Chain A
């Protein structure tokens, strides 16, 4: 079956602009995660959804970052007033939502803020 998909694959924007990054999880997966991977580093957790609600948003760096999952499937990560330090690969993962379940990752969106 289809894996996790993310769009766009690349996004270039200017400092101060607003961006939206989309994640389509594997069908039937109730848990959805966003991570951020800066150059040369491992992914860092941003936010986790169980169904439609954000179960843990402790990794969001500040209030410019926000994510939604209104129907419990597709999720959108929204970044306001982008800064150059936001440049990174944003990864989405999904899982069945059960304890210790495998998280399946999408290919990521590479965000570049000029």
Chain B
């Protein structure tokens, strides 16, 4: 079994400030890691994914995430946020024995002017 914990349900931040959204997972086997973004009334859109190799992964819209195996974390970062980044962000894992994604509860990023 695997699980994902997103430690912050909401993260308020001012425009142009840096942000980090935290994600921790547990799994008894190797996993693939994903971050998705969900804008209001829209479907989930993939931001980035870690499959193997370099632990620092760059995604769309200036986001990046770092896989830390010892801490079982995959935190999402952006050095300078925009109002348009306001959305719900979901961390997800998939183990190499299955195909479905296990999602965290989500973090609502609220960017204020």
User: What is the interface of chain A, defined by CB distance below 8 A to chain B?
Assistant: 3-4, 31, 33, 35, 40-45, 48, 50, 55-56, 59, 91, 93, 99-100, 102-108
Chain B residue, CB-CB nearest to A31: B99
In the bound complex, how far is the Cα of B102 from the Cα of A44, in angstroms? 7
In the bound complex, how far is the Cα of B53 from the Cα of A7, in angstroms? 39
User: What is the interface of chain B, defined by CB distance below 8 A to chain A?
Assistant: 4, 6, 32, 36, 41-46, 49, 51, 90, 92, 94, 96, 98-106
A43 and B101 in contact (CB under 8 A), knowing A102-B46, A102-B49, A105-B44? yes
In the bound complex, how far is the Cα of B36 from the Cα of A103, in angstroms? 10
Q: How many A-B contacts if CB must be within 8 Å?
A: 59
In the complex, the answer to whether B98 meets A105 with C-beta atoms within 8 Å is: no
Chain A residue, CB-CB nearest to B49: A102
Q: State the Cβ distance, A26 to closest chain B Cβ, in Å.
A: 12
A42 and B99 in contact (CB under 8 A), knowing A102-B49, A106-B43? no
Taking A42-B92, A91-B44 as given, write out 9 further A-B residue pairs in contact, using a Cβ cutoff of 8 Å, ordered by the A residue number.
A31-B99, A33-B100, A42-B106, A45-B101, A56-B100, A100-B96, A105-B43, A105-B44, A108-B43
In the complex, the answer to whether A100 meets B101 with C-beta atoms within 8 Å is: no
Cβ-defined partner of B103 (8 Å) among A4, A40, A44, A48? A44
In the bound complex, how far is the Cα of B100 from the Cα of A50, in angstroms? 12
Enumerate 18 A-B pairs (CB-CB under 8 Å) in ascending A order: A4-B43, A35-B101, A40-B105, A40-B106, A41-B105, A42-B6, A42-B92, A42-B106, A45-B100, A55-B99, A93-B44, A99-B96, A100-B32, A100-B51, A100-B94, A103-B46, A105-B44, A108-B43
